[in-house]
Structures are given as structure tokens and as C-alpha cells.
Structure 1
Amino acid sequence: MFTEERQAAIIRCLQEKGKVKVKSLSEKFHVSEDCIRKDLKTLENSGKLKRTYGGAIMSQDYPLQRDVIDRRNYHLDKKKIIAEKAFGLIKSNETVFLDISTTNIELAKLLAASRIKVVVVSNMIDILQILVQNPMITVIGTGGTMYQGVNGFMGAATIEVLKQYSFDRAFLGSCGVDMVDCTVTTLGVEDGLTKKAVINSSRHKYVVMEKEKFYFNDSYKFAHFDDINGIVTDEYPDSTIVRTLEASGVRLV
């Protein structure tokens, strides 16, 4: 089979399955894994796919809408599982930061319904509105520049406020991880720099995200695996990713 034929066949596999793995493609086409990696790089350069850790996805495959309003009900069952796990990490009398995240909206609901006495700081209006219903929770908003698409605050003014705090735990949203260079990503620089400020002000740092985000990443890298303590997810990813996370000292919850 010629290179062009094999690459066309790879695209067909992607269209049928949504994602492909280097190892399985190597076995399917009877070529080396290095050969497949070169194919994937060529196809990525032409805009036909996006490489991921150990494989590839269609470049437009991840259906994450950018606006929070659109994302609230996407994978809601998985977000509730993640929120339950995150809730179990929080102890009474802690100071907690909840980042802009539709999963953290579910976590806020659990906190609001509980009898845990905590201080919660957040830069997301939805979260503040939910938590203020519980008189046992001291609710603090960061303020700053308001971004309508995420219904929250980001940027320089927000960062200056965050620098003044010392959080026991922080729960950070993410657009995915880059398993090649072991980083956590988000959409843009304002959100990324705000998340960095949270990390610098926190003792225990957790990323909250669905399992599928282990196979996707976005444009801005706001943290290395060394910067976080754990990832709270609905279901463990494949064993190769688990081993990489364990080697980096990242706890999977």
C-alpha cells in the first residue's frame, strides 16, 4: 500500500471511530509505529486530524462548546460523579477555591446542600449564587474583568486578588491535558494566567475533568503535572496514561 493510500485509510478509520491508536494502526497496515507517527504528523500538518497521546482524533472531534451556558448539561452525569469525588476531599474549616468550571457548579451544589463549614472563593458567578444559599459557607467573589462567555472573572485584576489568599484546596477546570509534555491546558491566556495564580496560592491543587479530556488539549498550557496534586475524573483513562501520571506524582481520584 502506498503512503497516500494508507493515509486516506487512516482518515476513514477516524471518520468511523472518532479516534485511532498508533499501535492498532501499525498492526492493521503492517508497518512500524514510527511510520504511523509520520503519517499522523503529515495529516495533522494538513489540518485533517489532531494528534493525541498514542494516537489521533479528528481535528473537530471534541464537542466542547466554549460558552458555559452551552456546556452545563453536556456530560452532566459524568460531572456529577466528579463533583462527588471532589466533595469527598474537602474538610471542615478549609478555605477552598472553585475555578470557572461547569463541573464545579455541580460541586457547589453539593457544598450548598451540606453542613460543612468552609470558606469558598470563586471567580464564577454561577458558583457564588449557589453557595450563598448556605449560611454555613462564607462566600467570596474575586471580582475583576467580567467575561460573558464563562460568566466569570479573569485577568489582571482577578489575579491581584488571588495573590492575597492562601487556599487549602483548589479545584481547577481544564480543556484537556497534553500527555506528550505532561501539561494541563485551557483555551486562552487570560484564563490560563488566572489559573496559574490560583495554583501559586494553593496547598492542594486538583484538576476536575472528564476522562475524554485525557485525549484532548487546547492552546494554552497553564500547569505542568509537577504543579498539581491530582486529577479528579469520572473514570480512569487507559493504563499508559495512568502510568505516566503515577510517574509524575499525580494522584488520580
Structure 2
Amino acid sequence: MYAPERQQEILRLARAGGRVDVLSLAEEFQVTAETIRRDLKALDRSGLVRRVHGGAIPTGRLDFEPDLSEREATAADEKDRIARAALAELPEDGSVVLDAGSTVGRLAAAFPLERSLTVVTHALPLAVRLADHPGIDLHLVGGRVRHRTRAAVDAWALRAYGEVRADVVFLGANGFSTAHGLTTPDLAEAAVKRALLTAARRVVLLADSTKHGAEHFARFGDLADVDLLITDTGLSPEDAAGIAAGGTEVVRA
């Protein structure tokens, strides 16, 4: 099979399934992973797919949203490094808000047992992780729970966050860039994330570098709304400098 034919078939699979991954494509077409990466790069340059960690998603699918288990497995090492770096942002005996998301979830799992904090979250998996922490005064925000993210949304959640003013909010996003700001596929999730931007005195965005440049359906803020971005070294120094020029501190863990 010639490269253009293979690329057309890859595009068809991406559009049918919402996503393709390098290793599965290499096995299916009996070529090397590097050959598939070149195919995806060519499709990306043509604007037909957007490359993500380990594969690609078709452009035009701004509403595509992987489920929680898939997000947990994506860029796992990078997310662990980001979470460890974020521990330095925890206040002493203060209050934090935790957004839904796999990277923020890793931070919650890494909370030191000796730390005393007031924690507010609308994410059920994070609440479960912290429920038995001896030093955590846990507040669970209610609302309609989205199956895909296990997070509460809609009026109850928005009303609760309107009454909160914490020291730090640890925020997640599906996409971030200076051009498109902070985005996520779902409007209800975006509304809650927008409320989080004003629910704390300091906003810390935890996002791995595969999300840089990604644009999704629902926009909930600007990078300028973020005090600190903690990402991984996959974000180039040049891109980090461009974000910092807009007033957001950047840590590449």
C-alpha cells in the first residue's frame, strides 16, 4: 500500500472511531511505528487530524472527549511529574479547590498525610481518594454527575462555587493556548471551570504538553486568567516563553 492510500485509510479510521493510536495502526498496516508517525504528521500538516500523545484525533471533532480511564492512561509519566511539582503550591493549613481531571487526580493522590487542608471538589473520584485522608476537611460539591468525567455540573455546582474563595484552585483543561485560551469539549463542564477561575485567589493550571495548541468546543477562559501553568518538558522553551510573556508563570516539570 502506498503512503497516500494508507493515510486515507488512517483518516477514515480516525473519523469513524474518534481517535487512532500509533501502535494499533502499525500492527494493522504491518509497518513500523515511525512510518505511522510520519503518516500522522503529514495528515496533521494537511489539517485533517490533530496529533495527540500516542496517536491522533480528527479535526472537526472539537467535541471529542476521551473517557476517564483513557485519560488516566495518557501521558502518565508526565502527569506524575506535574503532580509532584504541584505539591509545592499547596498552602500551609489553607484551602484548595480541585477541578475534575486525571492530572489533578494525581495531585490529590499525592497529598502528604501530614498536611492539613480544607479541600473543595466536585469530582467524585478525587473525593473518594481524599475521604480517608486524616488531615483533609473535605467538602463535596453536588450537582448533575456527568458519566464521562464523574464530575458534578449545572446549577448546584455553580451556586456552591459562587460562595467559595479558597487560597488555590488546581484547574484542568483539555486544551490551552495563547490563541484559543482554555477549552474543554462540554459546555456544562466549561461553566464549572469558569466558576473555578474566581473561586480562589490563585489559579494553577495542571496540563500536560499534548494539550498545548488543542482547541475544543467550549471555551472557559484565557491563559491570562491563570497565575501558574505546570506542564512537562514536551512544551518547548519558546512556547513557554510566549505564554510567560502574557503574564502566566510556566513550570516545565
Distance 1:67 1:17, change over 3 A: same
Find the counterpart in structure 1 of residue 85 from structure 2: 85
Normalising by structure 2, what TM-score? 0.75
Contact 1:99 1:122 in 2 (8 A): yes
Query: Does residue 110 in structure 1 map to residue 132 in structure 2?
Result: no
Contact 2:178 2:222 in 1 (8 A): no
Find the counterpart in structure 1 of residue 228 from structure 2: 230
Distance 1:14 1:120, change over 3 A: same
Contact 1:14 1:58 in 2 (8 A): no
The CA deviation at 1:15 is 5.8
Query: Does residue 158 in structure 1 map to residue 180 in structure 2?
Result: no
Find the counterpart in structure 2 of residue 221 from structure 1: 219
> Which segments of 5 or more consecutive residues in structure 2 lack a partner in the other structure?
1-7, 12-34
The CA deviation at 1:164 is 0.5
Distance 1:235 1:114, change over 3 A: farther
RMSD over aligned CA atoms reads 2.8
> Secondary structure at 1:165's aligned position in 2?
coil
Query: Which letter maps to 1:66?
Result: P
**Counterpart Cα distance in 1 of 2:58 and 2:37:** 11
Instruction: Work out the number of aligned pairs and report it.
Output: 213
Q: 1:204 aligns with which of 196, 202, 205?
A: 202
Normalising by structure 1, what TM-score? 0.75
**Counterpart Cα distance in 2 of 1:66 and 1:200:** 27
Contact 1:123 1:143 in 2 (8 A): yes
**Counterpart Cα distance in 2 of 1:69 and 1:49:** 23
> Secondary structure at 2:212's aligned position in 1?
helix
**Counterpart Cα distance in 1 of 2:165 and 2:197:** 10
Query: Does residue 16 in structure 1 map to residue 38 in structure 2?
Result: yes
Find the counterpart in structure 1 of residue 74 from structure 2: 74
**Counterpart Cα distance in 2 of 1:59 and 1:241:** 24
Q: 1:246 aligns with which of 234, 244, 247?
A: 244
Distance 1:17 1:245, change over 3 A: farther
> Which segments of 5 or more consecutive residues in structure 1 lack a partner in the other structure?
1-7, 23-39, 52-56
Contact 2:176 2:223 in 1 (8 A): no
**Counterpart Cα distance in 2 of 1:205 and 1:191:** 17
Find the counterpart in structure 2 of residue 37 from structure 1: none
> Secondary structure at 2:197's aligned position in 1?
helix
Asked which structure has the greater CA Rg, the reply is 1
> Secondary structure at 2:152's aligned position in 1?
strand
**Counterpart Cα distance in 1 of 2:108 and 2:128:** 9
**Counterpart Cα distance in 2 of 1:73 and 1:246:** 29
Percent of matched pairs sharing the same residue: 19
**Counterpart Cα distance in 1 of 2:57 and 2:151:** 30
